[in-house]
Structure 1
Amino acid sequence: MYNHRKFSLFAFLLLPVFALAQVKPAASFRIVPLGVLGSADESNLSAYMLAPKGSSNYICLDAGTLHYGIAKAVAHKTFTVPADVVLRQYIKGYFISHAHLDHLAGMVINSPDDTTKNIYGLKSALETLKTHYFTWESWANFADEGGTPQLKKYHYKPLEPGSETAIENTEMQVQVFPLSHSNLTSTAFLVRSKDSFVLYMGDTGADEIEKSQNLHSLWAAVAPLVKAKKLKAIMIEVSFPDEQPDKSLFGHLTPRLLMNKMSELGKLSGVSLQGLNVVVTHLKPPYKSISQIKTQLKAGNKMGLNLVYPQQGKALEF
């Protein structure tokens, strides 16, 4: 009887220790997917709102779909304010990874109803917006550069690789890194809030196929953050299943290529990537292919990554 009581008391005293061991790190960011696919469905194309947890000062990482995605988020009670408030007041700026339509159409179409904001990106992406979209031939010029008259609602903010920039009207900072996407340059945005980071990557191919070192350079830059457990999530595309021939990837990744790249990141960081949050973006329908991609990612996930498949309108916290 005495031994039983002694064991019970010992177990009781250890309960707080066990509880603490199971507590997850506090979330630093809130991500609201407004669109998650890479083609076919114009109501669900790449766009992700991001803010420090507890803040309503969001940025929008790419902007393929806005209105429909915000409406879905309101329907899911992700936001408790009307959709027009989210568009006009919550989104403080747009970060365009590259100037393909599936990454910016929502911003262009919704510009008449929007408020004054910055559009951030590499010079190449902003130049395409200026000369091909906000032109009066394609759409009214809601920016403050380019064709006249300039409606001056949007202001272009070119970002330079190698330096961190404060994001206006938010509590966040950003660094940019070039990515190789077939015949153009895409962008990775490394967003910081205090001492925590999220890495959002636009469309990218693998270095060995793109004849580039851009992914390797990006991994080398973020490896110390992985090692220090400051990188809360990587948002990275997987567009096609492994059956897609290399010559038909057009600057995109497959499950096999993603796992190869993550293995490289693990080697550079010198730590296990088990549990690292990897948000899989830009899956391309048909939906049979999406199912294949998920099956192949699961089979190839030998590192124990926490693979996350975002759903339109449903918030994620990291």
Structure 2
Amino acid sequence: MSKLVVCLLLLLGHLATAQQPDFRVVPLGVRGGLDESNLSAYLVAPVGAISYACLDAGTIRAGVEKAVAQRALPGTPDQIIRRQIKAYLLSHAHLDHMAGLLLNAPDDTSKTLYGLPSCLAILQQHYFNWQSWPNFGTTGAAPTLGKYQYHPLLPGAPETAVAGTALLARAFPLSHGPGYESAAFLLRYGNNYLLYLGDTGPDAVEHSTRLAELWQAVAPLARAGTLRGIFMEVSYPNAQPDTQLFGHLTPHWLQQELLVLARLTGVGALRNLPIVVTHSKPTADNLIQIKQQLETNNTLRLRFIFPEQGQAFAL
């Protein structure tokens, strides 16, 4: 066999290995408000696994029903919610990221809830308090029903095993409007990573350094090619004034933030990196503008993914 053929075979083998996905994602909800049947929630598991972590929990049952109808999830909605969703990672306590968890709690099974201490405190004090909703937690207002265990993720702490799954997680604080904290979760399976950002405004508008600190943490992963994708919100098109972002991003601000990351990694490290665009406000014209503005100004040559409820994809 000639050296050229051997080299080609080795190259093809390398490309095939490099393109193998590591994570399976099933979006249960993808929008950022108004339509209560399609709010932020994403199931994530290693490819081939059926034990999922759920990133945020705005819509659960309606999304599972749609995923079952589209054959993205096997089984009945009750089986999937009770048995295949093993844990919830909650970026913040706004209802469009929390309502599905609350409404399905009466029929759910025992699970662990992960989040920053501030998020879990709001859940315990303002929702699971026997005034807004029964206390399905293991601590707080009596009587405690003992269904959900709180597991705070402290910024800067080592990664934590996500109960019932093969995933590991770390949390990073984000700024989501004046005085309010959201979170990003860095998930790992084997040697590969996914980064999920809850709602966040740009550092320049938020007068914050939290995104800059997040980019410093994940830049080595992007340079090494082990960061398989970033979930990042774009709530409004570019016409939205900075004074009315309410802790959110536009296409312009998403691209500005990723340019900060690119300065740390080198532009080539981000080429074709999947960016899963989340939390768009659900008017047709709004989403069309966001897509056009992201693609038109895609100087980093990112691969934008616009998820649809119930349609699985791999990263």
Q: Same fold judged by TM-score > 0.5?
A: yes
- Where 2:56 maps in the other structure, the secondary structure is strand
Name the CA shift for 1:21/1:159 in 2 (closer, same or farther; >3 Å). Answer: closer
2:89 maps to amino acid = F
Q: Which of 248, 253, 273 is residue 257 of structure 1 equivalent to?
A: 253
* Cα RMSD (Å): 1.7
**Aligned pairs, how many?**
310
Partner of 2:212: 216
Instruction: Determine the structure 1 residue equivalent to 2:170.
Output: 175
- The separation in 1 between residues aligned to 2:289 and 2:44, in whole angstroms, is 28
For structure 1, the residue ranges without an aligned partner over 5 or more in a row are 1-8
1:11, CA displacement in angstroms? 9.8
Q: Does 1:310 align with 2:268?
A: no
Determine the C-alpha separation between the residues in 1 that align with 2:192 and 2:8.
Answer: 30
Go from structure 1 to structure 2 and tell me whether the alpha carbon gap of 1:17 and 1:257 turns closer, same or farther (over 3 Å shift): same
Q: Deviations over 1:47-81 (max 9, x none)?
A: 00011111112100000000000001100101121
Distance 1:20 1:175 in 2: 32
Distance 1:251 1:13 in 2: 53
- Pairwise CA distance, 1:200: 0.4
> What SS does the corresponding residue of 1:63 show, helix, strand or coil?
coil
- In 2, distance between residues paired with 1:190 and 1:18? 30
State the partner residue of 1:69: 63
1:260 match: secondary structure:
helix
Is the CA contact 2:29–2:39 (under 8 Å) kept in the aligned structure 1? yes
Q: Point out the structure with max Rg over C-alpha.
A: 1
Is 2:239 the partner of 1:243?
yes
Corresponding residue number in structure 2 for 1:118: 112
Pick one of 203, 228, 231 that aligns with 1:232. 228
**5+ residue gaps, structure 2:** none
Judged with a 3 Å threshold, the aligned counterparts in structure 2 of structure 1 residues 18 and 223 are, in CA distance, closer, same or farther, namely closer
- Once the two structures are overlaid, the 10-residue window that deviates more, 202-211 or 136-145, is 136-145
Q: Distance in 2 between matches of 1:13 and 1:233?
A: 32
Deviations 1:28-65 (A, max 9, x none): 10011000000110000000001111111210000000
Residue among 37, 45, 59 paired with 2:39: 45
Instruction: Give the residue type in structure 2 aligned to 1:186.
Output: S
Q: 2:148, 2:14 → 1: CA distance? A: 48
Q: Distance in 2 between matches of 1:248 and 1:308?
A: 25
Q: Counterparts in 2 of 1:22-61, with a 5 A limit?
A: 23=16, 25-61=19-55
CA-to-aligned-CA distance 1:181-220 (integer Å, 9 cap, x gap): 0031000000001101000000000001000000000000
Alpha-carbon shift at residue 113 of structure 1 (Å): 1.1
Matched residue SS, 1:307: strand
Per the normalisation by structure 2, the TM-score is 0.95
> In structure 2, which of residues 281, 294, 304 is the aligned counterpart of residue 284 of structure 1?
281
Give 2:20's aligned amino acid. A
Q: CA deviation at 1:263?
A: 1.0
TM normalised by structure 1 equals: 0.94
Per-residue deviation, 1:12: 8.3
Q: Is the Cα contact below 8 Å between 2:32 and 2:40 reproduced in 1?
A: yes
CA separation in 2, counterparts of 1:150 and 1:75?
36
- 1:90, distance to aligned residue in structure 2 (A): 0.7
Aligned partner of residue 100 in structure 2, secondary structure: helix
CA contact (8 A) 1:227 1:271 kept: no
Structure 1 residue matching 2:166: 3-state secondary structure: coil
Partner Cα separation in structure 1 for residue 208 and residue 6 of structure 2: 56
Q: Find the residue that maps to 2:295 and give its secondary structure.
A: helix
Residue 148 of structure 1 corresponds to which residue in structure 2? 142
Q: Answer yes or no: is the 8 Å Cα contact 2:267–2:300 preserved in 1.
A: no
Deviations 1:239-285 (A, max 9, x none): 00000000000100000011111111111112411100100000012
Residue identity in the other structure for 2:284: Y
Shift in Å, 1:149: 1.1
CA distance in 2, matches of 1:223, 1:142: 39
- Which consecutive segments of 4 or more residues in structure 1 shift more than 4 A? 9-22
